[in-house]
Amino acid sequence: MVTDCAKCPLRISKIFDDMSAEELRFMQKFKVGETTLEKGTPILMEGSNSPQLYTALRGMGLRYKLLPNGRRQVINFVLPGDFIGLQAGVMGEVRHSVEATTSMTLCVFDRSELWTLFRQQPERAYDLTWLASVEEHFLGEVLTSVGQMSASERITWGLLRFFARCSAVGLTSGGSCPFPYRQQDLADALGLSLVHTNKTLTKLRDRQILSWRDGTLRILDTEKAKEIAMIDDAKPAARPLI
Amino acid sequence: MVTDCAKCPLRISKIFDDMSAEELRFMQKFKVGETTLEKGTPILMEGSNSPQLYTALRGMGLRYKLLPNGRRQVINFVLPGDFIGLQAGVMGEVRHSVEATTSMTLCVFDRSELWTLFRQQPERAYDLTWLASVEEHFLGEVLTSVGQMSASERITWGLLRFFARCSAVGLTSGGSCPFPYRQQDLADALGLSLVHTNKTLTKLRDRQILSWRDGTLRILDTEKAKEIAMIDDAKPAARPLI
DNA sequence: CGACGCGTTGAAACTCGTCAATTGGTGTGG
DNA sequence: CCACACCAATTGACGAGTTTCAACGCGTCG
């Protein structure tokens, strides 16, 4: 029942870099299995020392951090193709938690093989650095958004970004994509209160910028949305898939 | 006038991982030179395509991002030992700017040799991933701070964190360390207005938590400060130096 | 001397958070 | 089949934290 790397449904997407047969063989060996998780299941727990690394194959999740005062920061939304646990693999333990928001399928890798990968497959090592670097860059953008934008700008920015990520992995249809989270999740991701997030969403819907109902996000006016979010990006570049 | 990697003043610090003579030789070859910059000099410009990578040897700097509306987010403060330009090296171009706040000395590397490094020195490749991963983790913490904490919590957090980083590279003496930035820089780093930052700093000084005057930061009450900032970290782990 | 950058302070305006209550949908047990 | 609990979304009212505006002091530099 395990997906063959060579037939990986994600790899077919043109957003991901191609691999040679040899490289695929190595990845297949690196991959030790596959798991399917129910919605709501924790994948990594803060402070834990997971012996495994994952790549999301299907479904969506949430990376977050809890504070002693009970507040929560959602660091990022997890989409198919995302690598999970690199920090744990490199640093020993994770300082944030990851959980499945919808049911998910994960590719499982053995952390102890990470070093083998660095020695035998410099291309994959490079890819890993690439992934970490891109994630770092992305977090810089989130920080900029949360630090410098108003509520409606942040929300527009966050949803537009999410839409773009969905688009890159083929999860969009027309101007809409799934967004299976709660308003509280979005609020915690953008540093806003639930109530204010709700009211701002209503305003954005009234202004015909975007709408989010029943787990579906629709970008109604791409131009206006990009202007509000101060985004002018072209399309995303090809990226590695581990 | 170029510092020998084997005699690198930073490497002496016990915070950095040791290297074998062989490894040092490779790094020496990787290093193509050294630059000294005046205060205020730009190091990387957003959107540029720098052919070089750097490691800060001496002095302090600032990584930041500008928004179309003129606002600025300071992503991080640059300290000795920090690697600059990994994103450019891996992704092609940087999406943020870096500039020298004080005068700085930088180690210069050739970006085109990065791939050689990955093939020939898997340990260094691993180190680079480590660095990117730690930076990613750090940005997650900043995001949590900016997203979920009040002004005084954020400021205490930011300054305490900076102090810890200084401490790791031996820049502290007693309870104080240099902090050569402007209040505007700190405000932009934490997503606060200049005025409010100023008033909050005054309050923290009056409460005997910490004081920052004339470019020097003093932690007056470590325990109370850690409590406010919700930090309970022990000491930082050893880290690689590229 | 005046211009400029940075720190400081006061007052007013506003965004956003908190409190509180309601609605609708879903699942569960009697 | 209905009552009830529970969760997410929604809405109104109020207040707090923070921003913005404006002004002043101080040191440095040309």
A119-131 burial, b at 16+ Cβ within 10 Å, e below that, comes to eebbbbbbbbbbb
- Cβ-based neighbours of B227, under 8 Å, separated by 6 or more: none
Q: Which two tokens stand for residue A55?
A: 């790549």
> Considering chain B, what is the average pLDDT of its residues?
95
Q: What is the mean pLDDT of residues B121-132?
A: 95
Collapsing DSSP states into helix, strand and coil, what is residue B191? coil
For A171-189, the pLDDT digits (tens) are: 999 999 999 999 999 999 9
- Cβ-based neighbours of A30, under 8 Å, separated by 6 or more: A109, A110, A113, A117
Confidence class for position B111, pLDDT limits 50, 70, 90: very high
Question: Which residue among B65, B69, B230 sits closest to A140, beta carbon to beta carbon?
Answer: B65
> Considering chain A, what is the average pLDDT of its residues?
95
Q: What is the mean pLDDT of residues A69-77?
A: 97
Nearest CA in chain A to B233: A95
Confidence class for position B90, pLDDT limits 50, 70, 90: confident
pLDDT of amino acid B91: 85
Residue B86 has pLDDT above 80, yes or no: yes
Least confident of A113-117, A150-154, A221-225, B199-203: A113-117
Distance CA A43, CA B237 (A): 25
pLDDT of amino acid B237: 80
Between A82 and A90, the more confident residue is A82
Residue B180 has pLDDT above 90, yes or no: yes
In contact, B53 and B99? CB cutoff 8 Å:
no
Residue B233 has pLDDT above 90, yes or no: no
Q: What is the pTM of this model?
A: 0.96
Q: Of all residues in chain B, what percent carry a pLDDT higher than 90?
A: 88
* Residue limits of CATH 2.60.120.10 in chain A: 5-140
For A194-212, the pLDDT digits (tens) are: 999 999 999 999 999 999 9
Confidence class for position B50, pLDDT limits 50, 70, 90: confident
Residue A38 has pLDDT above 90, yes or no: yes
Residue A141 has pLDDT above 90, yes or no: yes
Give the bases of strand D that a protein CB approaches within 7 Å: 8-13, 17-22
- CA distance between the termini of chain A: 19
Look at domain B149-229 and name its CATH class: mainly alpha
Collapsing DSSP states into helix, strand and coil, what is residue B51? coil
Tell me if the domain spanning B5-140 has CATH number 3.40.109.10.
no
Distance CA A95, CA A88 (A): 8
Give the bases of strand C that a protein CB approaches within 7 Å: 6-11, 15-20
* Residue limits of CATH 1.10.10.10 in chain B: 149-229
Q: What is the mean pLDDT of residues B231-242?
A: 84
Residue B1 has pLDDT above 80, yes or no: no
Distance B64 CA to D17 C1' (A): 26
Residue A232 has pLDDT above 90, yes or no: no
Confidence class for position A2, pLDDT limits 50, 70, 90: confident
Q: What is the mean pLDDT of residues A68-82?
A: 97
Distance CA B141, CA B138 (A): 5
Nearest CA in chain B to A88: B133
Rg (CA), chain B: 18
Residue A93 has pLDDT above 90, yes or no: no
Distance A188 CA to C11 C1' (A): 33
- CA distance between the termini of chain B: 19
Residue B26, Cβ neighbours under 10 Å: how many?
Answer: 18
Residues pairing with B1 in the sheet: none
Confidence class for position A92, pLDDT limits 50, 70, 90: confident
Residue B232 has pLDDT above 90, yes or no: no
Q: What is the mean pLDDT of residues B92-107?
A: 95
Residue B236 has pLDDT above 80, yes or no: no
A147-173 burial, b at 16+ Cβ within 10 Å, e below that, comes to bbbebbbbbbbbbbbbbbbbebbbbbe
- Which residues make up the interface with nucleic strand D when CB must lie under 7 A? A 182-184, 194-195, 198-199, 201-202, 213; B 150-152, 191-197, 199-200
Q: What is the mean pLDDT of residues B219-233?
A: 95
Select from A83, A111, A139, A152 the residue whose CB has the most chain B CBs within 10 Å, as the one to mutate to test that interface.
A139
